[in-house]
Amino acid sequence: LVDLTEDKEVDAEFMYTVKWKETETPFEKRMEKYSMSSSLPHHLEIHWFSIINSCVTVLLLTGFLATILMRVLKNDF
């Protein structure tokens, strides 16, 4: 057991075991099993709503900034 109540360094030893299992799967095909079960989609799906939402947000913020700048600069000229 390790006492963690005091703020001091403690050396800890870790041990593990490994079992090697030979397979018949060639090296080139070993990652196929993991890529098929990946949570990533198999085809590129474009999120049109997000793109349009971002464009509208940029346009609105640009319009608000232009309006504020025009009001401020109108007093100077």
Number of domain units in the chain:
1
* Residue 66 belongs to a domain: yes
pLDDT over 90 (residue 68): yes
* Residue 26 belongs to a domain: no
* Residue 3 belongs to a domain: no
Owning domain of residue 76 = 50-77
Structural contact between residues 12 and 2, judged by C-beta atoms closer than 8 angstroms = yes
Please count the residues of the chain. Answer: 77
* Residue 29 belongs to a domain: no
Would you state the pLDDT for residue 35? Answer: 73
Would you state the pLDDT for residue 4? Answer: 77
Would you state the pLDDT for residue 44? Answer: 62
* Residue 56 belongs to a domain: yes
* Residue 7 belongs to a domain: no
Q: How far apart are CA 29 and CA 35, in angstroms?
A: 10
* Residue 15 belongs to a domain: no
pLDDT in tens, 2-58: 777 888 888 888 999 999 999 898 988 888 877 776 566 656 667 889 999 999 999
* Residue 16 belongs to a domain: no
